[in-house]
Chains A and B, each alone.
Chain A
Amino acid sequence: MLVNANGLDFRALNDAIRRAGGKVELTGCLGQRFICAGMSDVEVAIDGVPGNALGAYLNGGTITVSGNAQDAVGDTMNAGEIVIGGNVGDAVGYAMRGGKIFVRGDAGYRAGIHMKAYEDKIPVIVVGGCTGSFLGEYQAGGLIVVLGLSGRRIVGNFPCTGMHGGKMILRSDCRGIAFPDQVTSREATEEDLVGIRQYVREYCARFGENEEKVMDSPFTVVTPDSSNPYKRLYVAN
């Protein structure tokens, strides 16, 4: 069903999506926040620029955006998929606890900040381009994959600050990138690559990239260093 977002505020827009049910094509979107927040089993395709916190608390279904999205996409999402055809702003996947986010282009600062995981709930973010500073800040779980296909430096300053769980895989040898002492970065093994293959395949299928070409590159794996935890970071007690 077609929903024209023009002139609707976020409440009216979400009501219209709920009423429509099933497949929704949203046109004329311009900055409305909280689209599909807390919804389950939606299938929404968005044309235009969705506002902040797109798919916050999403609990299933798929949101597809043809172009760019703004800040905090998938904030605290629990399940489902969000697919962004352009770039995203800051804090994509903020505190995400399940589901998948695919970003074709670049992500801003603090992608994957405070992602977490529990048993079978393992959130995944795949960024095709590069990311800003503080990638995976306070990451506690889940998987962040950055492919660096936009050709610039794959990540800004201070990646993995405060990271204490989960895994990050960057398609780069990461030479010249400084990671904090509390994480370990190493060249990816065959096993690591097998682990991300399905996500790379999905990314390539969605956005028309060549999977073999994308995989034919050095990859770096970053995980917390459990032998060097954050003891006495703030107080010596």
Chain B
Amino acid sequence: MEREGSIRIPSGCAIAAVISREGKRMTGEAIIGAMKPMHDRSNGLGGGFAGYGIYPEYRDLYAFHLFFDCRDTRKACEAMLKEHYEIVKGEVIPTRKIPAITDEPLIWRYFVTPLKSVLADLQLDEKEFVARTVMKINTELSGAYVFSSGKNMGTFKAVGYPEDVGVFYRLDEYEGYSWTAHGRYPTNTPGWWGGAHPFALLDFSIVHNGEISSYDANRRFIEMFGYKCNLQTDTEVITYILDYLVRRQGLSLTEAANVIAAPFWSTIENKTDEYERRKLQYLRTVFPSLLVTGPFSIVLGFTGGLMALNDRLKLRSMVVGEKDDRVFIASEEAAIRAMEPEARGICAPAGGEPVVVRVKEGAY
């Protein structure tokens, strides 16, 4: 079978998310249920989930989730990690054998922390060092792929339909304050486990419905800053762009949204608020290569919150609703109703208008 990175084929998809603003933890069952009415949006070549707040007992450690092609690769990877990290725990990620999911690679997780001496020696902050480690393994260690690397969060993905992937990874046994989900219909790449969504780096994760036409322009720019787009999928580059803008450049989420889904110049010119107009002009001028064009609807997961965003032309559907402390986001209202039949305030955010939902401080 051909893998991501070896071939490009010239998208449909399904996304869903739920978050408790009170930080109440929910099992993965509801989010799996959300994907069922959207079954036809995927074609069985990828499904995945991200859960936040799922590893409270290891909350201060980075949780690396990895795919390995064989035992030797795993041993090599562990040796590589041990040079710079303390590995507090390493184990197979528990799965259920089900007929719908086959040909799984070795799937492991490691709870790790970078050695203080290494960080001091390199004069790097911890997150930057961890991000570089992920890039290094994914680029240099053939047969190994880190698909999750944040603290107190994890992504779970596979080739299959999302509702089966959720059962395979036993997500009913995890509890998180927020969940995102994706059903895949790959159009540019063949569909391998690593290419399923969410794409994640540190605690940022992205699920994406769409197909961006600015992929190569974005890739060329972002690769100048040490990111490696190994899999040729557009979602990977969006993940790195958001990490670059938010973590490294220090932009707010709304500002980052104004870079990737920048308003049209005519819309900016018509802004009556002088400060806002100048800020939008500034962001478009400084980061023109990070404008993401073409259809997309994404949900960005991060520690303590979610952000939903559509492309500025709104070429993909996305609706938001809520009930009590929970906020729901999905490609279709039916998915929200599957999670909560009584959801209220169903609305569709405008193109380029970010919806940021945060868990109240101290509750995650």
Contact B37 A68 (CB under 8 A): no
Contact B314 A49 (CB under 8 A): no
Contact B333 A70 (CB under 8 A): yes
Q: Which 7 A-B pairs have the closest CB atoms?
A: A31-B334, A31-B37, A49-B334, A109-B314, A30-B37, A30-B334, A49-B333
Distance in Å from the Cβ of A86 to the closest Cβ of chain B? 8
Given A31-B38, A70-B317, A90-B317 in contact, is the A156-B333 Cβ separation under 8 Å?
no
Contact A87 B346 (CB under 8 A): yes
Distance in Å from the Cβ of A73 to the closest Cβ of chain B? 12
A10 lies within 8 A of chain B by Cβ: yes
List residues of chain B with CB within 8 A of the CB of A134.
313
Bound-complex Cα distance A9 to B348 (A):
25
List residues of chain A with CB within 8 A of the CB of B348.
89-90, 108-109, 132
Distance in Å from the Cβ of B174 to the closest Cβ of chain A? 25
| Contact residue among B40, B333, B338 (Cβ-Cβ distance under 8 Å from A68) | B333
B236 lies within 8 A of chain A by Cβ: no
Bound-complex Cα distance A30 to B335 (A):
8
Bound-complex Cα distance A60 to B291 (A):
45
Contact B314 A51 (CB under 8 A): no
Contacts A51-B332, A157-B267 known; list 5 others, CB within 8 Å: A30-B337, A31-B334, A71-B332, A157-B264, A178-B270
Bound-complex Cα distance A109 to B314 (A):
7
The residue in A33, A49, A89, A133 that gathers the most chain B C-beta atoms within 10 A of its C-beta is: A49
Bound-complex Cα distance A115 to B222 (A):
41
8 Å CB interface, B232-280 against A: 264, 266-267, 270
Q: How many A-B residue pairs have CB under 8 A?
A: 61
Bound-complex Cα distance A40 to B346 (A):
31
List residues of chain B with CB within 8 A of the CB of A109.
314, 348, 351
Q: Which residues of A contact B (CB under 8 A)?
A: 9-10, 30-33, 48-49, 51-52, 68, 70-71, 87, 89-90, 108-109, 132-134, 156-157, 178
Contact B333 A133 (CB under 8 A): no
Bound-complex Cα distance A134 to B348 (A):
15
List residues of chain B with CB within 8 A of the CB of A133.
313-314, 350-351
Bound-complex Cα distance A156 to B313 (A):
11
List residues of chain B with CB within 8 A of the CB of A156.
350
Bound-complex Cα distance A33 to B39 (A):
11
B63 lies within 8 A of chain A by Cβ: no
B15 lies within 8 A of chain A by Cβ: no
List residues of chain A with CB within 8 A of the CB of B313.
133-134
Distance in Å from the Cβ of A184 to the closest Cβ of chain B? 20
Contact A70 B346 (CB under 8 A): no
Contact A51 B346 (CB under 8 A): no
Bound-complex Cα distance A134 to B312 (A):
12
Contact A49 B337 (CB under 8 A): yes
Contact A33 B333 (CB under 8 A): no
Contact A89 B317 (CB under 8 A): yes
B314-335 toward A: CB 8 Å interface, digit per residue (1/0)?
1001010000000000001111
